[in-house]
Structure 1
């Protein structure tokens, strides 16, 4: 697994220029309405930020009911050792995750002393290590067996451009059509990485569930939630159409235009992070 060293790229910065699409999306004082990444004084400081947001991301998934036994995993590339990644232990519920529970694993599956000494999900390691190797342009990957995501995955089809939120996935979603069972072999992880391709950040794993990528854990996790809800919407539309009601799809030009803003908006976990921080009094940061 190889990746260039250095800090992560900021997920979002409002582009300069009064004619920017994103600048037109806001009114009022020009303040950072949605937080981007802070400036880090060292990779070690950045590591702590990553771990804190990763723990919050699991708490968010717990609130959404995404916990499913030992299944489900998020990984984030380590800023200090870019060929290592942080991962959740296999023995803890999403709603209980703290920074100190996160495991640092290398490309060979060795548990490193900088993190918790706890077991990790082998299938998750095989999927994520292949993705991190194939996609050095992303830092985070998220996968779990959400009900709506795994239900829609049985069709082996991407979601359609049904509503405004769908446009965040315009030309940004792939499908892995081969279900090879629980991913206990490295080859299956490689096959999944190939199915995602060099540019897409979202994938529907047929008969399995959803997988999302991001520059940050915030982006990967929030896009996962958005995609799961869109799978739910797609299922409702399919059911309505079966009773004779016809759907209307968003046109290609409109979807492409909207994707430039929608993809940016849905890459942020900032409001949810602040809520979890308040609700838990920062307990997840321990």
Structure 2
């Protein structure tokens, strides 16, 4: 730009400063979206909760089949519970008496965990399991990896028919634990997704098996020595593998295997007919 041009611009700017009074009134910014959740506000389109729910239910069924293949079945006992993506006080879980290896997305039921009322799906609820889940679903929304995050619950009181047992287990888990060993009962895991919780459950079960094998081997051969991973190394490994999406990805090879073994459309069977009816239906 020529010198004369810059001089003219500078002169105009100086003259404007003399004639214009600068307002000191505070600026009010209207952002919009105050009536939306953060996810809705940043989205470029509507959130398709039905697709999110469909994904959850299909993967939930696949995790059940994976559990069956790994031997995590015991008669009618055992369950997986997942928070509904649209209604945070609703949870999806498996029906009583359905074998894990035959589970499909359409088998799941939806419960209001405040009242215990069935609000979606078409099967009878596993009521005693609901009591366990009431507090756990609220207290442990998001937790990290297994190092320094395994609780031991030593006060198992038998089959759960009251909310107190769920509250006690939730208290044992605390704000950071993601898994628990329930003495004289079994294992428990939680996660941000059913995929994450399923992977951690298998990880903990295999860890317990290896520990027992090591202890048995040492009793048979006193010359064997344990080589325990240091706290620093364990903490580093936990940090590198603690992200919930990473744990979700860890489970996908097993689930892909289950989808392939079941055949196209088998695990997904019935999912398109799943609905939330809430209080509209008794």
Q: Larger helix proportion, structure 1 or 2?
A: 2
- Residue 84 in structure 1 maps to residue 90 in structure 2: yes
How far did 1:134 drift? 2.0
- Residue 285 in structure 1 maps to residue 264 in structure 2: no
Q: Which residue of the partner structure matches residue 129 of structure 1? A: 134
Corresponding residue SS for 2:225: coil
Q: Which residue of the partner structure matches residue 186 of structure 1? A: 163
Q: TM-score, normalised by structure 2?
A: 0.73
- Residue 109 in structure 1 maps to residue 86 in structure 2: no
* Alpha-carbon displacement from aligned partner over 1:48-100 (angstroms, at most 9, x marks no partner): 11111101111111111211111000000001211000000012000111111
How far did 1:262 drift? 3.8
Query: 119-128 vs 205-214, which deviates more?
Result: 119-128
Quick check: 1:6–1:79 contact (8 Å CA) kept in 2? no
How far did 1:279 drift? 1.2
Corresponding residue SS for 1:91: coil
CA distance in 2, matches of 1:233, 1:40: 47
Quick check: 2:141–2:191 contact (8 Å CA) kept in 1? no
- Residue 74 in structure 1 maps to residue 75 in structure 2: no
CA distance in 2, matches of 1:196, 1:273: 27
Number of aligned pairs? 221
Structure 2: any 5+ residue segments left out of the alignment? Answer: 1-36, 40-44, 270-282
Q: TM-score, normalised by structure 1?
A: 0.72
CA distance in 1, matches of 2:236, 2:57: 34
* Residues 227-246 of structure 1 aligned to structure 2 (within 5 Å): 227-243=204-220, 244=222, 245-246=224-225
CA distance in 2, matches of 1:215, 1:6: 18
- Residue 62 in structure 1 maps to residue 68 in structure 2: yes
Change (3 A) 1:56 1:246: same
Corresponding residue SS for 1:283: coil
Change (3 A) 1:279 1:132: same
CA distance in 1, matches of 2:121, 2:76: 19
Structure 1: any 5+ residue segments left out of the alignment? Answer: 8-38, 139-166
Change (3 A) 1:266 1:47: closer
How far did 1:207 drift? 1.0
Quick check: 1:210–1:224 contact (8 Å CA) kept in 2? yes
Query: 269-278 vs 67-76, which deviates more?
Result: 269-278
- The CA RMSD over aligned residues, in Å, is 2.1
* Alpha-carbon displacement from aligned partner over 1:180-213 (angstroms, at most 9, x marks no partner): 1111221111100100001111111111111001
- Residue 214 in structure 1 maps to residue 197 in structure 2: no
Q: Which residue of the partner structure matches residue 27 of structure 2? A: none
Corresponding residue SS for 2:190: strand
Corresponding residue SS for 2:116: coil
- Residue 196 in structure 1 maps to residue 196 in structure 2: no
* Alpha-carbon displacement from aligned partner over 1:115-155 (angstroms, at most 9, x marks no partner): 12x223222111112211222447xxxxxxxxxxxxxxxxx
How far did 1:6 drift? 7.5
Query: 269-278 vs 68-77, which deviates more?
Result: 269-278
How far did 1:266 drift? 4.6
Q: Which has the higher contact order (CA 8 A, sep 6+)?
A: 1
